[in-house]
Amino acid sequence: MSRSCEKVTDIFGMNVFSDATMRERLPRNIYKLFRETIDERKPLDLSVANVIANAMKDWAIEKGATHFCHWFQPMTGLTAEKHDAFISPTSDGRTIMEFSGKELIKGEPDASSFPSGGLRATFEARGYTAWDCTSPVFVKEDGNNITLYIPCAFCSYTGEALDKKTPLLKSMEALDKQATRVLHLLGTKTRHVTATLGPEQEYFLVDRSFYEKRLDLVLTGRTLFGAPSPRGQEMEDHYFGTLHERVANFMYEINHELWKLGVSAKTQHNEVAPAQYELAPVFATVNVATDHNQLVMETMQKVAVRHNLVCLLHEKPFSGVNGSGKHNNWSMVTDDGVNLLDPGETPHDNMVFLVFLCAVIRAVDKYAKLLRASVANTGNDHRLGANEAPPAIVSIFLGDQLTDIFDQLASGPAKSSKKGGILKLGASTLPPLAKDTTDRNRTSPFAFTGNKFEFRMVGSSQSTAGPMFTLNTIVADVLMEIADELEKSKEVKAAAMKILHRIANDHNRIVFNGDNYSEDWVKEASRRGLPNFRSTVESLSTILEKDNVAVYHRHSVLSPTELHARVEVFFENYSKAILIEAKTMLTMAKRQIMAAAVQYLGRLASSLAAVTSAGASSETLSTKIGAVDGMIKSLAESIEGLDSAVVKAISTGGAEKKAFVCHDLVVEAMKKLRSVADTLETVVDADLWPLPTYAEMLFLK
């Protein structure tokens, strides 16, 4: 892309039908009514929608758009879109450009071809998309194709949620309702509370030429084979290192594209693993942040190709180096701009902060299994607990100051707050630094980081919607408990202190400020009674426990029917992903790796024959031939073993049973096959090996 003289302030949001654009283009009364829909949660009247739709259409056409689409997030984990042209034929054979309020508000995509867990069948195909008017409409450029995108929810003909957006919006309303109740009881006049999110996105970049030679990367997003590179991340020189020019150019274009879409991409840097990077945005409301993160992932992959790169979003594309996560920075903000998780100068006597802090602590401990299940997928199984990412044990890092206050609450009212002080670096030319009240802990799965919680277990390829609607819901549930108790009390402050005292005593087990990577913590967590589900299938099996079904239903986020269907989809997706990986491994092993190994064995045999015909002998060469022949036999046995495991999994009925067979048999057989193949890679002549190596993919740009 050519360098532009455009200012960031000029291009930011230029392709977004933003609040400022609406205020400029809509009649004053229409804009006011629309704002009431947003701010007061009032239904949007069709007559208002008609005026808005017409203004959107005119604006989009000025941008070069010819089509509009309802953009939604089905349970595939990706986004979906159905495009329709603005054109409308006239009776005299011409056409006009039209877009009605009805078309803006509602779409009708086929619902039977998306994962539904049995909620939809082929003969029951109708589904609806509904405009999420709290997330801005935007114009997206895909080459010469320019389209107006309308963020939507997606539901079945009978009203069940078929997407990730619908329960997210419902969870936001549940959190708003219960948080506002608590705030009113504590004496504030807040009207609404909104969950906010800033999702950091980690990713890998590899040269496109290497990617195209790796069937595993093309079909699964990760390397199913690959011996370790002689050099990995042990030098610790890639993290925050100087950007390679090619990568910097990619980042420049990513920023430019995202800024036009109103995505506030702010931070970018090299990550720990070679060829790994990170992008982080500024906070937004949780549904907008989720939409933006989907745009971030899509745009990264699209722009990478322009630079002859491929962006890998899998949680563990390369074995032996750090995987990628999506660190979800979550908080709650009132309509008058108060961050409810901001401790202030004296958090020990900040009652509002303490109540909301303790509500989160109780929610995370009470529903730890549910929170763990919200980040369960095949990719995260390779990452969580691998001493590069948090373990599968949910715990909370509070830091020195808040842990001290939490401990004080266990015995009575908190009376003091630790201070950070001043840090002097010893050189007269260096300024003294204000020291924070606590250190950070990058090993914690759920860490307090100043004025927010950082949920670090989320996988890099995941939509943020699932983890966030789970977190919103469980916190709303505890806030409801608190509000119910405070409403019955005669003295609210005393009752609140009693609640804080009880939470500090009942849930101190979930607070851990130490090294989450250590084996000692695994033993200590077990002693504390904290659950530890190491695999996706184990974790998913807990979702339908009575309390978990009840909490979603109680807050109208997901009905029992919707939740059962969703779990069915999760198990199905797990099995499908594993079987695709297994079949890809078999194809590569049979058609590439076995062929290379046999060819290498033939080369060795020819060499031995030549040596022998010359009247010499080579014990070393004979030994090597025997070793390679043994490896080839092991490879054949491993292929046969994986073949049998795949057949067994395919023939197993029931989504959950199939998933467990995939985990217990197929995954184990895949590990054995990979072990043999990776050993062969270190032996077979380089010119015969058919796959780009880790050293090439991670270090050549």
What is the CB neighbour count within 10 angstroms for residue 3? 8
Provide the 10 A C-beta neighbour count for residue 386.
17
Please give the Cα distance from 399 to 663 (Å, whole number): 37
Q: What percentage of the chain has pLDDT greater than the value 90?
A: 83
- The arithmetic mean of pLDDT across residues 240-266, rounded, is 94
Distance (Å, whole) CA 369 – CA 361: 14
**Whole-number pLDDT of residue 234:** 83
Mean pLDDT of 389-405: 94
Coil, helix or strand at residue 309: strand
613 in the same domain as 479: no
| CA dist., res. 681 & res. 678, Å (int) | 5
Residue 508 DSSP code: G
Listed residues 119, 146, 163: the one ending a domain: 163
pLDDT at 370: 98
Confidence of residue 678 (pLDDT cuts 50, 70, 90): very high
Residues 143, 186: one domain? Answer: no
Strand order in the sheet with 276-281: 265-270, 276-281, 201-207, 309-312
Instruction: Please calculate the CA angle 495-501-502 and round it to the nearest 5 degrees.
Output: 90
Tell me what pLDDT residue 122 has.
65
Q: Is the pLDDT of residue 5 over 70?
A: no
Which of 110, 141, 163 is at the close of a domain?
163
CA count, 13 A, side-chain hemisphere, 441: 23
Residue 481 located in a structural domain: yes
CATH number, domain of 597, equals 1.20.120.1560
Question: What is the Cα–Cα distance from 483 to 494, expressed in whole angstroms?
Answer: 14
Residue 34 falls inside a structural domain: yes
Least confident of 33-47, 330-344, 426-440, 510-524: 426-440
User: Are 501 and 633 in a shared domain?
Assistant: no
Residue 120 lies in a domain: yes
Does residue 603 sit in the same domain as residue 536? no
pLDDT of residue 148: 97
- Mark out the alpha helices in 92-206 (DSSP H runs): 101-105, 165-185
- Mean pLDDT computed over 539-559: 98
Give pLDDT, residue 604: 95
503 vs 108: which has the higher pLDDT: 503
Asked whether the predicted pLDDT for residue 329 surpasses 90, the reply is yes
> In terms of domains, do 532 and 601 share one?
no
Residue 678 lies in a domain: yes
Instruction: Name the residue among 60, 215, 73 with its Cα closest to residue 149.
Output: 60
**Average of pLDDT values for 522-529?**
96
Per the CB < 8 A criterion, the answer to whether 291 and 308 are in contact is no
What is the arithmetic mean of pLDDT over 531-545?
97
Mean of pLDDT values over 319-332: 96
* Contact residues for 574 (Cβ-Cβ < 8 A; gap 6+): 377, 378, 536, 537, 540, 659, 662, 663
Residue 273 forms part of a structural domain: no
Is residue 550 very low, low, confident or very high in pLDDT (cuts 50, 70, 90)?
Answer: very high
pLDDT of residue 421: 75
Q: Tell me: pLDDT of 1 over 50.
A: no
Whether residues 140 and 186 fall in one domain = no
56 and 123: one domain? yes
Of the candidate ranges 34-48, 265-279, 564-578, the one whose mean pLDDT is the lowest:
34-48
- Whose tokens are 């999506």? That residue is 326
One domain, residues 341 and 459: yes
Lowest-pLDDT range, 91-100, 145-154, 355-364, 437-446? 91-100
d(CA 38, CA 32): 10
| Residue 627, in any domain of the structure | yes
> Where in the sequence is the domain holding 592, given as residue range(s)?
574-699
Question: What does the alpha-carbon distance between residue 40 and residue 33 come to, in Å, rounded to a whole number?
Answer: 10
Domain with residue 30: its CATH number is: 3.10.20.70
Q: 477 and 378: one domain?
A: yes
Q: Is the pLDDT reported for residue 442 higher than 90?
A: no
Residue 68 · residue 148 · CB < 8 Å: yes
Same domain, yes or no: 184 and 90? no
pLDDT at 97: 82
Domain presence at residue 251: no
Residues 66 and 192 in one domain: no
Number of separate domains in the chain: 3
Joined together, the tokens standing for residue 6 give 């455009």
Q: Let me know if residue 278 belongs to a domain.
A: no
pLDDT digits (tens, 9 = 90+) for 609-657: 998 888 777 888 999 999 999 999 999 999 999 999 999 999 999 999 9
Q: Which residues contact 80 (CB under 8 A, 6 or more apart)?
A: 71, 72, 73, 74, 109, 114, 154
Specify the pLDDT at position 4. Answer: 53
Give the domain-ending residue among 528, 558, 588.
558
Q: Are residues 545 and 591 in the same domain?
A: no
pTM value is: 0.95
Place of tokens 């495009």: 83
Counting residues of the chain whose pLDDT is more than 70, the rounded percentage is 99
Is-contact 167 303, C-beta < 8 A? no
Tell the residue number behind the tokens 């695999």, with chain if given.
Answer: 535
Pick from 696, 677, 599: nearest CA to 631: 677
